[in-house]
Amino acid sequence: MGYGVSNLNGFALGPFQNWEKRIYPLILSLSKDASKPEMVRQAHHERVTVDFGRAQALHLDRFIRTTSDAAFRCLSPLPCVKLDRMEVIFDRGVYLLELDLWLDSLRKREFGLISHAHSDHTARHLSPVLTPNTRLLLGDYLKRSEPITLEYGEPLDRGDYTLTLFPAGHCLGSAQALITNKWSGERLLYTGDFKSRPSPINEPLLPVDCDTLVIESTYGRPEYVFPPEDQVLDTACRTLEMWLSKGERPVVQGWRLGKAQEIMHHLMSAGFELVVEESIFEVAEAYQEAGVAFPGDFHCLNGHWAEGQVLVCPPGFRKAKELNLALGKRYMELTGWASGKGGRRWGRRGDASLAYSDHADFNDLVDYVKRVGPSQVYTVNGFPDLAAHLRKLGYPAVHLDGKKGRRDDGGFQMKLV
């Protein structure tokens, strides 16, 4: 069975079939009127559709259900196959087709979620949804936008669905998003980047029950299993103390937003005197503005790096003038990639490489799936191995890589046309 449309301006159509030749051109002609649903206008201007009839039916389904203009009251759905789950597409961001909702799109959109302030999850959307602390961290980046800030647990009603943010534990302000479809009742949870291990400076991860889970898989290979963090930090501190006792100059590398501030907190708690690169210093000040307390003082690198101080800087800072002039440098990198085969996935040189991350490792990812109990899983932004492992555990799981439609041992990803 399918959809049917009758007596539309004298245009008689039978059951839903031959979509592209009969229904879709008609909707495109109607979409020129700006009063029609946003989804249809987007379909007209951006040609957002997919290859197969199931997802195309979602376009017509939304058009029929959201059209209230008197001129189109003759639209009526006939009995059809129930579409019981929202379609999920990955194309430089996660797209929920039925709801016309983008999550962490890297292209500018009229409306969309920004789960946290890292640049690989942001764009200058006209109306981005984000937490107050993510907005604080992004600062002038969104000065031409009209952000919608949501506290954790505060629902945003968008007509067809509600969107609620929950802590992700990844960095200050990071959020998971629970999207509840009002028509079907389906609860879809998008994790964004998350960390399940405790952090001294971030809101702890809150597991959220869901029907469909879209989960990041940055460390989605079994080889990426991190040791206990207290062991890693103990090794880091003993190594730094050894270098300092020899008169050497320790340089600890960490990404400027999130991981660097965690490292700062841990090293200050251990009694180290810190000097930090400027961008890390500015982010740390934003953390303090948000109410995060550091257990000691830290100084901004302004050309002077005193003996006995540990320098915290981003990985790309090693060619800076301040470092070139200093003798006896020893580099420590704290990265999850150190746990993989061969280590140092990105080719960075380190005298010590320790497995410390602001992401979940492979076991943490699997454990989180078990905790939230989804009946469908999509993995994004990482390795497909996680989805394959979850299928062995009995979870319907598909990895979405955004490259092209293809089989993935139990699931199929539709490509955009």
pLDDT tens track for 236-264: 999 999 999 999 999 999 999 999 999 99
**Angle (nearest 5°) at CA 232 between 221 and 176:** 55
| pLDDT over 90 percentage in the chain | 68
Judged against a pLDDT cut of 90, whether residue 79 lies above it is answered with no
Please tell me the predicted confidence (pLDDT) of residue 232: 98
Question: Could you give all domains of the chain from N- to C-terminal order, each with its CATH number?
Answer: 1-83 (no CATH), 102-224+360-413 (3.60.15.10), 229-354 (3.40.50.10890)
3-state secondary structure the chain: CCCEECCECCECCCECCCHHHHCHHHHHHHCCCCCCCHHHHHHHHHCCCECCHHHHHHHHHHHHHHCCCHHHCCECCCCCCCCCCCCEEECCCEEECCCCEEECCCCCCCEEECCCCCHHHCCCCCEEEECHHHHHHHHHHHCCCCCEECCCCCCEECCCEEEEEEECCCCCCCEEEEEEECCCCCEEEECCCCCCCCCCCCCCCCCCCCCEEEEECCCCCCCCCCCCHHHHHHHHHHHHHHHHHCCCEEEEECCCCCHHHHHHHHHHHCCCCEEECHHHHHHHHHHHHCCCCCCCCEEECCCCCCCCCEEEECHHHCCCHHHHCCCCEEEEEECHHHHCCCCCCCCCCCCEEECCCCCCCHHHHHHHHHHHCCCEEEEECCCCHHHHHHHHCCCCEEECCCCCCEECCCCEECCEC
Q: What is the average pLDDT across 157-182?
A: 97
Residue 327 pLDDT grade (very low, low, confident, very high; cuts 50, 70, 90): confident
The count of other CB atoms within 10 Å of the CB of residue 17 is: 13
Judged against a pLDDT cut of 60, whether residue 69 lies above it is answered with no
pTM, 2 dp: 0.78
Window from 19-28, 65-74, 396-405 with minimum mean pLDDT: 65-74
Centroid of chain to Cα 58: 25
Judged against a pLDDT cut of 70, whether residue 319 lies above it is answered with no
Q: How does strand 376-380 pair with strand 298-300?
A: unpaired
Residue 317 pLDDT grade (very low, low, confident, very high; cuts 50, 70, 90): confident
Judged against a pLDDT cut of 90, whether residue 357 lies above it is answered with yes
What is d(CA 110, CA 381) in angstroms, rounded to the nearest whole number? 23
Q: In what order do the strands lie in the sheet with 111-113?
A: 88-90, 94-96, 101-103, 111-113, 127-130, 148-149
Residue type, 90: F
Picking from 151, 4, 183, 194, the residue whose alpha carbon sits closest to that of residue 83 is 183
Q: What is the average pLDDT across 155-171?
A: 97
Q: What is the average pLDDT across 172-182?
A: 97
